[in-house]
Amino acid sequence: MKTEPSELFTAGEPAAAPKDDPRPPGDADRSGARAARGRKAAVSRRRRGQGGSGAALAAALGSTIQLLRWLLIGLVGLYLTSGFTRVGPQEEALVFRLGRLQPTVYPPGFLFALPAPIDRVVRVPTRAQHELVLRSWQPEEREAGAGTAPTPAPGLAAVRQPNFNPALLDPGRSASSLVLAPGLAAVANPAMVSGRGLHPVRDGYTLTADVNVVQGTFAARYRIVDPVAWVRAASEETTNEVIAAACHRAALHALAATRIDDALGAGLSRFREELRRQAQMSLEELKLGIELVALEIQELVPPTATVGAFTDVTSAQVEARTAVEQARTYRAQLMPKAESEAYRIRHTADAAGAELLARAQGETSAFLALLAEHRLAPALVETRLRTEALEEVLPRVKFKTVLPSDSAPLHLYLKGEK
Amino acid sequence: MTKLQVTVRILIALVVVAILGFAMGSFQVASNEAVVLTRLGSPVRTLTEPGLYARWPAPIDAVHRFDTRLNFMDTRLSEALTQDKRNVILPVFIVWKVADPLKFLQALGTVSAAPAKLDSLATSARNALLGRTDFAELVSTDPAKLKLAALEQQLTETLRPQALAAFGIAVEQVGFKRIALPEANTLYVFERMRAERGQYAARYRAEGRREAEELRAKTDAEKTVLMASAQKYAEETRGRAEADAARIYAEAHAKDPQFYRFVRELEALRKTARENTTLILDTDTAPFNQLKGEDTKPASPAAR
């Protein structure tokens, strides 16, 4: 099965190859004229041969004529089959018959068209998707940045970088910051610090609803869906120009009604589908037979001169989020600690209370037990208790000095005194 | 030479002559083109239908072919004043095609001559329209005020009859590709943009700080409340326990106050007397009065 198509191609090649391009109308005339010239020469040569010399020359001439005759037949045959052609896998073919475009669309494969002045085959690349990158609004930062990279640039870029932490951004905001990201390096470009304006011819841009300047690149992908309409309506070159214009026009209209923040930020994706729809409408007005498959906004940025300010806004957002995150972290660390501390306090209090109570109960019940004994023999119990207490206490006390209260006044003799 | 040979040769000659005649005396008009046939310089036929047509050979008739497919052009950039006297650059693109080949041939001759003519037509029409339009109608945050689409429409309506009448050109589409400002003005726009961004940045920072501060303050407040309530609970619990204990002690005390005091005093004595405690007491003091009546020695003078 695999070898079949290649066999088909090699078999078809010799027939198709010589006449791959549709022949210009004059070609057939030329071959006709060539044939006529050949015949005339042959006739004159034969006349000379008859009038003058030998049979050998006549025989030679005869074989030449024979050869020319076959050549002529071969040429005629070649001409008649010259319309046979092959349509490539990416394309479809249309036929102009005597100038009139035939409505049949020929799919890839062999096409048996009539020879040159009658049929003209036009191939239309319908199956391929064509991509068109629209750079006429492209910011010039790239050329400027690449060409004259000044020494302070890396340093400044490095200073900026820490502020810019994509990980801290939420998905909604990351769209805008990613768009802004390429501008980071450009912050350091002295060209914009000097404050050069945008020249309307040199620099492409348009205005937003709030009169801000935006630049961008777009990529349009299109397909030829109606080859007949397309062949009638436009050449390839015009098609590209018209599509580019339609896309720019759509973007201009959309941007003229959109604030810059909505265009650069999260609104970008919503914007894209609207652009494609507008551009497609614009193309349909012209009946081009073209479908705009996609219109991608590759880049939509503020001018390089203000990128620094835009980046600063992004950094400010990041900073704000960082500050809030830090406060959240603080809260996340502090609150559990406080909670456990409070828990501890409560439980310590509970325990202390319980202990107090238990001690009171213990002591009380001990006392009550003792009291029962005491009632039986008060003096004995008291003496015993007192003695026990003194036995326990007195050994711990360093000096035990007991002064009789009713004895003579106390004389203190200090050292060295007589 | 046989009769057959002669016939064949005559036939071949006739075919050759027919081919030559066909080549010189006919021409085709394709579906996407139009032809003006001129005879000795003056136009005799205008052919817009595709097909095969007859002509006189070269020096007599001439075939002027025009591609009737679409052509595209941009106007040159030029400044224009709006009604409120602001300079804008609003380039126009035109998609056009040859509609009247005869008129086109007479007025312009070639396709390459058309853009310049259309340019001046379009530029003057656009300037006239802009003179009646405010800048705020070109770019506006209020979609109801925006007149760009209407302007394109008006421009098309103005250009279409003019181009057809003057050059035989059908204007298929007119549109704006961009709105630009003179170079000097963009500097002011940048200045304003930067100022605007500065405000935004300051606002974001301030908001972030405020939010963070609020969160911290809230956290601190919550912590304080939490601790205070725990403290309160602790105090209450302790108070309750004290009260209960006091009640229990009181009950015991009530049974025999004297003995209770005696036991408590002994207890207190045990607890207060530690190592290195020096006691100076007279023997009247309980419990040392227990020692009285014994053989009392005179006290040694040292009191330390």
Q: Does B293 touch chain A (CB under 8 A)?
A: no
Instruction: Give percent above pLDDT 70 in chain A.
Output: 68
pLDDT of A277 above 70: yes
Q: Which amino acid does the sequence have at B80?
A: A
Beta bridge partners of residue B88, listed in sequence order: B80
Average pLDDT over residues A74-98: 89
The pLDDT score that the predictor gives to residue B187 is 87
- From chain A residues 52-91, the ones with a CB under 8 A of any chain B CB are none
* pLDDT tens profile A211-258: 888 888 889 999 999 999 999 888 888 999 999 999 999 988 888 888
- From chain B residues 146-165, the ones with a CB under 8 A of any chain A CB are 146, 148-149
* pLDDT tens profile B186-200: 888 888 889 999 999
The residue of B35, B89, B205, B261 whose CB has the most chain A CBs within 10 angstroms, and thus the best one to mutate to test that interface, is B205
CA A217 – CA B134 distance, rounded (Å): 29
The pLDDT score that the predictor gives to residue B225 is 93
Q: Does B198 touch chain A (CB under 8 A)?
A: yes
pLDDT-derived band at B297 (thresholds 50, 70, 90) equals very low
CB B158 within 8 A of CB A267: no
Residue A323: list chain B partners with CB under 8 A: 208-209, 211-212
* pLDDT tens profile B51-82: 889 888 878 889 999 998 999 999 888 888 88
Residue B66, token pair as written in the block: 């025009």
CA A28 – CA A81 distance, rounded (Å): 12
CB A184 within 8 A of CB A161: yes
CB B32 within 8 A of CB A230: no
pLDDT-derived band at A403 (thresholds 50, 70, 90) equals low
| SS3 (DSSP) at A408 | coil
Tell me the pLDDT of chain B averaged across its residues. 86
The pLDDT score that the predictor gives to residue B186 is 85
pLDDT of A268 above 90: no
> Cα dist. B188→A168, A192, B137, B274 in Å?
34, 14, 20, 90
Residue A398: list chain B partners with CB under 8 A: 275-278
DSSP A18: G
| Close Cβ partners of B177 (under 8 Å, ≥ 6 residues apart) | A136, A245, A248, A249, A252, B74, B91, B92, B93
DSSP A106: B
Residue A376, token pair as written in the block: 């039986």
The pLDDT score that the predictor gives to residue A17 is 39
* pLDDT tens profile A335-385: 999 999 999 999 999 999 999 889 888 988 888 888 888 888 888 888 888
* pLDDT tens profile B228-278: 999 999 999 999 999 998 988 888 888 888 888 888 888 888 887 766 667
CA B110 – CA B118 distance, rounded (Å): 13
Q: Does B72 touch chain A (CB under 8 A)?
A: yes
Residue B120, token pair as written in the block: 């001046």
The pLDDT score that the predictor gives to residue A189 is 39
- From chain B residues 9-38, the ones with a CB under 8 A of any chain A CB are 9, 12-13, 15-16, 19-20, 22-23, 28-32
> Cα dist. A44→A40, B139, B268 in Å?
6, 83, 160
The residue of B179, B232, B247, B291 whose CB has the most chain A CBs within 10 angstroms, and thus the best one to mutate to test that interface, is B179
CA B145 – CA B140 distance, rounded (Å): 7
CA B178 – CA A252 distance, rounded (Å): 6
ipTM above 0.90, yes or no: no
Tell me the pLDDT of chain A averaged across its residues. 74
Angle at A27 between CA A21 and CA A32, to 5 degrees: 140
pLDDT of A69 above 90: no
* pLDDT tens profile B215-239: 999 999 999 999 999 999 999 999 9
Q: Does B128 touch chain A (CB under 8 A)?
A: no
Torsion of CA A134, A139, A142, A145, to 10 degrees: 170
| Close Cβ partners of B34 (under 8 Å, ≥ 6 residues apart) | B46, B47, B48, B65, B66, B68, B98, B101
Beta bridge partners of residue B63, listed in sequence order: B37
More confident residue, A240 or A37: A240
Average pLDDT over residues B91-114: 90
* Cβ–Cβ below 8 Å for B141 and A257: yes
Which residue, chain included where needed, has tokens 């057809």? Answer: B164
The pLDDT score that the predictor gives to residue A6 is 38
Residue A356: list chain B partners with CB under 8 A: 238, 241-242, 244-245
- Point out the residue among A32, A208, A323 whose CB comes nearest to the CB of B20: A32
Residue A394 CA, chain-centre distance (Å), reads 91
* pLDDT tens profile A177-224: 333 333 333 333 333 434 567 777 778 888 888 888 888 888 999 999
Beta bridge partners of residue B93, listed in sequence order: B74, B175
* pLDDT tens profile A107-161: 999 988 888 788 889 889 988 888 988 888 887 654 443 333 333 333 333 333 3
pLDDT-derived band at B110 (thresholds 50, 70, 90) equals confident
The pLDDT score that the predictor gives to residue B222 is 92
Average pLDDT over residues B102-106: 91
- Point out the residue among A306, A317, A359 whose CB comes nearest to the CB of B194: A306
The angle, 0 to 180 degrees and rounded to 10, between the axes of the packed helices B114-130 and B148-167 is: 140
CA A176 – CA B236 distance, rounded (Å): 57
